[in-house]
Amino acid sequence: MNNDQLNVLIRKNKGKRLSSKYKEMFINAGFRESDLKYVNIEQSDEVIKEVQQIFPSVLNQLELLAGNKSFNDSELLLVAFSIIDNMDECYIFSDDFPYCGMYIMKAPVVKENCLNVAKLGYNNTCFIVEKKFRFSFTINYFDEEHAELRNMFDIQLKLR
């Protein structure tokens, strides 16, 4: 067994303890359980490698959005999701993805619930990657503990 295989095994083992909470967080964010198509750790690693190859040189577009607003109030979310079809899919995940993997779902469902994932997710972060790698989002939520950006979303878009 090589180091990469051992690393995956260790992460899977840790993920066993976290996976039910991870899935529950997505359901609490508004996703139906039937919408959650699981992407395992190995496949998730491949998605992350692609993102790291495609998007590092792409400049972020940045938007701040009040925490009580919806996806319809975000110019960046509306612009990015307008370039894809409603049948297109997106990967969605939080900071626990190295242990829990990610999910892939239809774009409209991802768009409608991604801000909730940022509010509920580990480290208050949600990541979205369009399946064909046309765009990538990092959405951070700053709760009551953050004096400067209290109750704000920091939405970062990388668009190819």
Q: What's the rounded Cα separation, in Å, for the pair 47 and 32?
A: 23
Residue 155 belongs to what domain range?
A: 3-159
Is-contact 71 77, C-beta < 8 A? yes
**What is the DSSP-derived secondary structure letter of residue 60?**
P
Number of domains composing the chain: 1
| Beta strands 61-66; 152-159: pairing state | antiparallel
> What radius of gyration do the chain's Cα atoms show?
15
Q: How confident is the model at residue 148 (pLDDT cuts 50, 70, 90)?
A: confident
Q: How confident is the model at residue 59 (pLDDT cuts 50, 70, 90)?
A: confident
Give residue-wise pLDDT tens across range 119-146. Answer: 998 789 999 999 999 999 999 999 877 7
